[in-house]
Structure 1
Amino acid sequence: MHPVAEKRRPFSGDIMLAAGAQRGLHSSSRCFTTAAAAQASALPAISEGASTAGGWLSKLFGGSSRLSIPLTDPLPGVDLPRPDAVPSTAPSTETLALSNGVTIASEATPGPTATLGLYINSGSVYEEPYETGCSHLLEYMAFKTTANRTYFRLTREVESIGAQILASASREQMAYNIDVPKPNVADAVEILVDSVTNPKFLAWEVKDAVAKMKGDIATVKDNPQTVLLEGLHEVAYTGGLAKPMICPEGALGNLTADRLGEFVQRNYTASRMVLSGAGVQQKELTNLAQPLLDSLPQAAKEGSPKSEYVGGDFRQFSPSPMTHAMLAFEYPGGWNDVKGSTAVTVLQFLLGGGGSFSAGGPGKGMHSRLYRRVLNQYEWVHNCTAFSSLYNDSGLVGIFISTDRARSGQSFDIITKELQATAQGVTNEELERAKRAAIASVYMNLESRAVVAEDIGRQILTYGHRKPITEFINHIEKLTVKDISELVSKMVKKPPTVAVLGDVATVPRYAQIAGRFS
């Protein structure tokens, strides 16, 4: 997988992973009689092991007889379905490239449900200036009216097969997912492919989606991390990665059905698309999807638009009682440097951090450097967390901090000191703890079907194939204290990128911050 997942978002540009949603079971009847109760009432009388003791509540609960069979024993006369056999070895990922360039890949994970995903090399980095916000809008327009289905019909079909649908946009990739019980995989594949390859983009649906986007964009302003991350990319890069992922309010008026259709037609081509599945056999998935995907136009495979890291300064005033800031540096290799991106992931676990009111306990990072050296030392620091946003060929690595407004000027004193101290060296104990946490995160995340499906799709788009998990684990195991020190030392030699939200007047100037790393 993109070496290690933490749950994301997919982190979008962060470590590429995602989390599955839990389903509740609801009775379709308004009375209290359930199917299980009806089945139990039809069973023959059970005399063995039954107790005839009554009690003053016996009439209330249906009589004097009650079973005394232990809960660990099956009820006589009730045939339960046998669970799927757990394979003795982990299932492998199988892939097939169609003649037009679409890749179909799957892993037959055990369990009652399957997750399917269509992943496309398309995102905000591919937008022209007049298309700003198209990728963001496509997330809202997913699973709407198609050339073959009305939105109402599509919704009813999704409900009838017990499926859950989800779409997410990022800077370099789009993802469309459907989670469904295995007997309904055929219907799910057809709905998924139809929704992605045959969208209608009706004018009134686009108008409604834009209106909803406008409301959501307004709420984003209340999320300091999102505001700073957008600002960070804007000043850190020139080129594709400098383009906004969240549509600016001023660009909403340019988003029309025709413009959205042109963007999809240009970018949703066969060679940039992967259909992935977890919990479904490769042969079954291929037989279902190939007739639906063969008609997609073949186009030359294009690389991602180029981006150049330059560093910079983003500042936005806010009357908030706290000041929020980010300090980041480029990691130039991105996901394509597997060894280096794995080291970045371990570095993030090593620095760790969190909020001052985070729940503690094993695995919560309470022994990470930022927790011990910052959150436990300064009561006016409300949050101090290491972060990374990695892309195919580049990435940003740094620290996010929130402090009392009166202490705004000291925030960069703390995080610059921590990065410099990490460059000078960490202890073997700290590194081993971070390595164990990273490995545990990988394995635990891959227990989720949704993560497996996403991992398959995104890795094939990035590397052309899915790398074995052992490759990432081996890179983690081989990391040394010297490797971490050299990684940070090289990063801080580049121009920093600074983003501040809050009391910007008392925060040191960009030249002062950059001078500390000279």
Structure 2
Amino acid sequence: MKGIRPLNQLSKRCYAASRSGSLIDPLPVNPRKVPVKPVFQPQDVQVSKLPSGMLVASLENYSPTSKIGVFVKAGSRYETPDNVGLTHVLRLAGNLTTKGASAFKICRSVEAVGASLSITSSKEHMVYSAEFLRDDFHTVVEYLAHVITEPEFRPWEISDLTPRIKIDKALAKECPQIGVIEKLHEAAYKNALANSLYCPDFNEGNIKSEQLLSFVANNYTSGRMAIVGVGVKHSILRQLGEQYLHVRAGAGVPGAKAVYRGGELRVQSADGLVHALVASEAAPMGSAEANAFSLLQRALGAGPHVKRGANICSKLSQGIAKATTQPFDATAFSATYSDSGLFGIYTVSQYDAAAEVIRAGLAQVTAIAEGGLSAEDLARAKNQVKAEYLMSLEATEGFLEEMGAQLLTTGAISTPDAALQGIDAVTASDVANAAKKFVSGKKTMASTGHLINTPFVDEL
């Protein structure tokens, strides 16, 4: 038949184009089809400083996702009496239009790659963080940089934030602990750390675009910023500071040093439960004395360690249970900052038993100050502190926060081994001295509820 060639005339390329040697030899293994598992060498945390003065720290853990955070020394403590509450507005304004992208474009572009972008704040830091797939670094970082360095703060967009501010405050009021802690700081300090994380009622809707732009210009400088990343190469993370974060060089406007004064704030309400927090000045972050206060907190009891469990095994609970038969809750409170700290006793009780519960809780601290801490109690406290510290580092978010806080406070990052050695170095006498400092120190008290039977701070 025409058009069909005999089989012996077919081109050899039909069956032997990539074949050499005898047809009866076994086929060689194609190396391209054999998966080769990459060998990942464990990495240590790398820290460097850009020419602009910005600090960079990273840990390459070869995760398929990356998380980066930009920490700025621009928390509520840097507010002035003229713009108090500004950082609350700034925290909510992170998704608004910038000079490089509209609010809609930022939202759509970040969601399109499955990333997340969030902004949180504390009394010392503003934290801009993003989590994304490793291959989307440049896409996400571009919009993160827009949010940090190129905000416009359009007046009509800022005014639209007022309802969100009210919702935030309403949610905070539903948690009495937040209110008591905020009142404690307001009473304890004359300035700086006295500023609340939430915008006060009298300033709702009064924070203007000009104030926000001025605050960013004065505080968002290279000397006050640190970039921290987990699951990203250090060289790539440096590009964020060199290529994207174009901010003014220098240390910016210095913040006021926190001045502890002591005092009392009472919020009367119809609530039958009394929330009371009695504290005094403690140690700043990163000091050896701060470790002693951390152990003192765990020795007294820092909350239950079993889900939905009670705190009945703590010294506070056992001591207070001897003073009252009514239900209560008591935990030791500790907060550390770059230049100060607070330590105290937080109690929740029925209004008619508030005096007995508060005094019994303070008596437990006095007992430790007088040498009532056994070797077993100290060992248990050390185990709890070390376990909580190491467990917090296992989570990416906790590790990121720890690196960022250390980097901005000390300019370096201590290894977990060094932190554990610092905890082990604390002796029983160090914990007793921390308790003595609390007992003899000037007290601050914040309380809320039906306070008819709640003693004043000068009566304790």
TM bracket, shorter-chain basis: 0.7 to 0.9
CA apart distance, 1:220:
2.1
Match of 2:281 among 330, 334, 339: 330
The aligned runs of 1:389-404 (5 Å cut-off) are: 389-404=335-350
- Quote the residue 2:86 is aligned against: 134
1:460 to 407, 428, 435: 407
Aligned residue identity for 2:274 = T
**Which one of the candidate residues 418, 432, 443 is aligned to 1:485?**
432
Counterparts of 1:287 and 1:211 in 2: how far apart (Å)? 37
Deviations 1:122-156 (A, max 9, x none): 11111111111111111111132111111111011
1:498 deviates by 0.9
Cα deviation digits, residues 402-429 of structure 1 (max 9, x gap): 1012212223222221221121231111
Unaligned runs of 5+ in 1: 1-78, 514-518
CA offset at residue 435 of structure 1?
0.6
The reply to whether residue 276 of structure 1 matches residue 228 of structure 2 is yes
What is the aligned-residue identity percentage?
30
CA positional deviation for 1:356: 12
The corresponding residue for 1:181 is 133
Shift of 1:98: 2.0
Aligned residue in 2 for 1:471: 418
Letter in 1 for 2:73: N
Q: Which residue of 2 aligns with 1:120?
A: 72
Show the counterpart of 1:309.
260
* Other-structure match for 1:22: none
- The answer (yes or no) to whether the contact 1:189–1:289 under 8 Å persists in 2 is no
Alpha-carbon distance in 1 for matches of 2:82, 2:263 = 25
Give the conservation status (yes or no) of the 8 Å contact 1:354–1:383. no
Offset of 1:355 from its aligned partner? 7.1
1:320 aligns with 2:266: no
Judging changes above 3 Å, is the alpha-carbon distance between structure 1 residues 81 and 187 closer, same or farther for their aligned structure 2 residues? Answer: farther
Residue of 405, 413, 430 corresponding to 2:351: 405
Q: CA deviation at 1:181?
A: 1.4
- The separation in 2 between residues aligned to 1:429 and 1:396, in whole angstroms, is 26
Query: Counterpart of 2:395?
Result: 448
CA distance in 1, matches of 2:348, 2:38: 49
Secondary structure of 1:191's aligned partner: helix
- Which shifted more, 322-331 or 411-420? 411-420
Tell me the alpha carbon deviations over residues 445-471 of structure 1, each in whole angstroms, 9 at most, x when there is no partner: 111222222222211110011122222
Which residue, out of 144, 168, 181, partners 2:96?
144
**Corresponding residue of 1:232:** 184
* 1:183-206 C-alpha deviation (Å, 9 max, x unpaired): 112222222122111112122221
Question: What CA deviation, in whole Å up to 9, does each residue of 1:450-494 have, x standing for no partner?
Answer: 222222221111001112222211011122211111111022211
Q: Secondary structure at the match of 2:274?
A: strand
Which AA in structure 1 matches 2:329?
A: N
User: Structure 1 residue 285: deviation in Å?
Assistant: 1.5
Q: In 2, Cα distance between the equivalents of 1:159 and 1:304?
A: 36
Paired with 1:381 and 1:428, the residues of 2 have a C-alpha distance of 30
How far apart are the structure 2 equivalents of 1:146 and 1:267?
Answer: 18
Distance 1:264 1:287 in 2: 22
Task: Give the match's secondary structure for 2:278.
Answer: strand
Once the 2 structures are TM-superposed, how far is the Cα of residue 303 of structure 1 from its aligned partner? 4.6
Question: Aligned partners of 1:436 and 1:475: how far apart in 2?
Answer: 13
The alpha carbon displacement at 1:352 in A equals 1.8
Q: Secondary structure at the match of 2:347?
A: strand
AA aligned opposite 1:394: S
Cα pair 1:408 1:503 within 8 Å, conserved: no
Moved over 3 A (4+): 79-87, 300-304, 353-358, 364-367, 371-379
> Contact conserved, 2:324 with 2:356, CA < 8 A, in 1?
no
Say if 2:121 is the partner of 1:169.
yes
Structure 2 residue 156 is matched with structure 1 residue 210: no
Q: Structure 1's 408 and 300: CA in aligned 2 closer, same or farther, altered over 3 A? A: closer
The answer to whether the 8 A contact 2:220-2:248 is kept is no
Change (3 A) 1:358 1:322: farther
Distance 2:418 2:221 in 1: 30
Paired residues of 1:356 and 1:375 also in contact (CA < 8 A):
no
Aligned to 1:4: none
Cα distance between partner residues in 2 of 1:130 and 1:298: 25
The answer to whether residue 283 in structure 2 is matched with residue 351 in structure 1 is no
Q: Closer, same or farther in 2 for the Cα pair 1:211/1:83, shift >3 Å?
A: farther
Q: How far 1:376 sits from its partner (Å)?
A: 8.7
Gap change, CA 1:325 and 1:226, over 3 Å in 2: same
How large is the Cα RMSD of the aligned pairs? Answer: 2.3
Alignment partner for residue 366 of structure 2, among 393, 405, 420?
420
2:186–2:195 CA contact under 8 A, matched in 1: yes
CA distance in 1, matches of 2:240, 2:299: 45
User: What is the CA deviation profile of residues 86-133 of structure 1, one whole-angstrom value per residue up to 9, with x for unaligned ones?
Assistant: 64x4x3222222222222221112322111001001111111111111
The structure-2 alpha-carbon separation of the partners of 1:443 and 1:375, relative to structure 1 and needing over 3 Å to count, comes to: farther
In structure 2, the CA distance between the partners of 1:357 and 1:483, relative to structure 1 (3 Å rule), is: closer
What's 1:196 paired with?
Answer: 148
The CA distance in 2 between the partners of 1:472 and 1:313, in whole Å, is 35
**Match for residue 299 of structure 1?**
250
User: Any gaps of 5 or more consecutive residues in structure 2?
Assistant: 1-32
Paired position in structure 2 for 1:92: 44
Q: Secondary structure at the match of 2:440?
A: coil
- Asked if the contact 1:130/1:254 (under 8 Å) is kept, the reply is no
| Kept after mapping to 2: 8 A contact 1:133/1:245 | yes
Alignment-mate amino acid for residue 217 of structure 1: K
